[in-house]
């Protein structure tokens, strides 16, 4: 790669912003003390793409080092995701494409991520916004691999991509809560059974604490679960809370920092924390569990 291109890439990386992603990696290898040994350059996998034409599904562009399996139900399922999000959240149709880099296996994906984003904790997939120049539009990118969780992971990460395509910013808890809602198949109506099962025995809930979380490494499983719970409560638990959330999303179209949501909820609800707990107790488990 010519040197100017290398410099441009490094400059872009300095501006990279991360939305975080699913943290369900109980079997993730624990790196040795002092961090993993750096890989030899020859063993670092390249970003997929360049051999076969990219695949297209709606606003999503897939780079994959084999013919893109566009008819696979995993990808066909994504055709309706933009519509579902726009209708549910009353957001406009975005014009940005989301680029998806699909690695063939976990080892290649993880080796690439360790080299390109060494500061990130291991996750099954990542959504990354990459601003090529100050003030310019963000590149919206997803990195993941062809594993058993691909359907959920793609719905999750591409939800991040669609939100960031139309909002000026998305608070981390809300980004993950909405991704957790839309990662579920349409028939689940946003219910994540595993989250629900654990949260019914958890608590107390604290949105004010969640709203102070700003770093992806601070988001662990309890934070993902509680973020989902607040989003599900707002969208399905109470029309007034739903209106407050939709209004908050409209504010995010104008400014990346509209302040916290919790005062807006307290203005309409005597006890939002009790309300979310009660909502979880009465939420029905979907008949067709994913
Ligand atoms: Zn996420």
CA pair distance 133, 118, nearest whole angstrom: 22
Distance 1 CA to ligand 1 centre (A): 32
- Model confidence pLDDT, tens digit, residues 13-47: 334 555 565 433 333 334 444 555 555 666 788 99
Q: Is residue 233 over pLDDT 90?
A: yes
Identify the helix (H) or strand (E) that includes residue 223. Answer: helix 221-236
Distance 63 CA to ligand 1 centre (A): 20
Distance 42 CA to ligand 1 centre (A): 30
What is the Cβ-side half-sphere exposure of residue 6, based on CA atoms within 13 angstroms? 3
Question: Is the distance from CB of 276 to CB of 244 less than 8 angstroms?
Answer: no
Per the listing, tokens 């980004």 go with: 175
Distance 4 CA to ligand 1 centre (A): 33
Distance 216 CA to ligand 1 centre (A): 9
Q: Helices (DSSP H) in 45-122: which residue ranges?
A: 73-76, 81-89, 106-116
Classified as helix, coil or strand, 109 is helix
Distance 233 CA to ligand 1 centre (A): 19
CA pair distance 19, 126, nearest whole angstrom: 8
Distance 270 CA to ligand 1 centre (A): 30
| pLDDT score at 204 | 87
Residue 165 burial class via C-beta count within 10 angstroms: exposed 0-12, middle 13-18, buried 19 and up? buried
CA pair distance 261, 51, nearest whole angstrom: 46
Q: What phi-psi label fits residue 50: left (phi over 0), alpha (psi between -120 and 50 degrees) or beta?
A: left
| pLDDT score at 100 | 97
CA pair distance 241, 65, nearest whole angstrom: 45
What is the Cβ-side half-sphere exposure of residue 166, based on CA atoms within 13 angstroms? 19
| pLDDT score at 93 | 87
Measured CA distances, 139 to 3, 15, 131 (Å): 22, 11, 6
Distance 219 CA to ligand 1 centre (A): 10
Average of pLDDT values for 198-204?
Answer: 88
- Model confidence pLDDT, tens digit, residues 210-224: 999 988 888 889 999
Give strand ranges (E) for 132-242. 138-145
Taking alpha carbons only, the member of 72, 82, 81, 125 closest to residue 101 is 125
Q: Quote the mean pLDDT of the chain.
A: 85
Domains of the chain in start order, with CATH, are 12-31+38-166 (3.40.30), 168-290 (no CATH)
CA pair distance 21, 153, nearest whole angstrom: 9
- Model confidence pLDDT, tens digit, residues 103-127: 999 999 999 999 998 888 888 999 9
Distance 124 CA to ligand 1 centre (A): 10
Confidence of residue 288 (pLDDT cuts 50, 70, 90): low
> With pLDDT > 70 as the criterion, what percentage of the chain qualifies?
82
Q: Is residue 266 over pLDDT 90?
A: yes
| pLDDT score at 202 | 85
Distance 188 CA to ligand 1 centre (A): 19
Average of pLDDT values for 56-69?
Answer: 95
| pLDDT score at 2 | 31
CA pair distance 44, 114, nearest whole angstrom: 9
């Amino acid at each position: 790669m010519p040197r100017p291109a290398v410099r441009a890439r490094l400059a872009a990386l300095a501006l990279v912003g991360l939305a975080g992603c699913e943290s369900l990696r109980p079997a993730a290898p624990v790196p040795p003390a002092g961090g993993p040994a750096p890989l030899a350059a020859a063993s670092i996998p390249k970003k997929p793409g360049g051999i076969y034409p990219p695949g297209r599904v709606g606003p999503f562009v897939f780079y994959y080092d084999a013919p893109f399996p566009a008819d696979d139900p995993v990808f066909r399922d994504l055709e309706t995701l933009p519509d579902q999000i726009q209708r549910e959240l009353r957001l406009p149709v975005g014009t940005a494409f989301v680029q998806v880099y699909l690695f063939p296996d976990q080892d290649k994906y993880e080796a690439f991520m360790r080299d390109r984003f060494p500061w990130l904790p291991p996750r099954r997939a990542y959504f990354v916004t990459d601003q090529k120049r100050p003030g310019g539009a963000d590149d919206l990118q997803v990195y993941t691999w062809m594993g058993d969780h691909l359907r959920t992971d793609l719905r999750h990460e591409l939800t991040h991509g669609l939100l960031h395509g139309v909002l000026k910013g998305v608070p981390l808890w809300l980004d993950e809560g909405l991704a957790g809602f839309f990662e579920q198949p349409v028939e689940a109506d946003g219910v994540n059974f595993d989250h629900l099962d654990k949260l019914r025995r958890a608590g107390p809930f604290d949105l004010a604490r969640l709203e102070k979380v700003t770093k992806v490494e601070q988001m662990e499983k309890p934070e993902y679960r509680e973020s989902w719970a607040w989003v599900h409560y707002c969208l399905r638990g109470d029309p007034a809370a739903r209106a407050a959330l939709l209004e908050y999303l409209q504010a995010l179209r104008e400014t990346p920092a509209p302040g916290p949501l919790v005062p807006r909820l307290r203005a309409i609800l005597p006890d939002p924390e009790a309300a979310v707990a009660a909502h979880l107790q009465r939420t029905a488990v979907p008949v067709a569990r994913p």
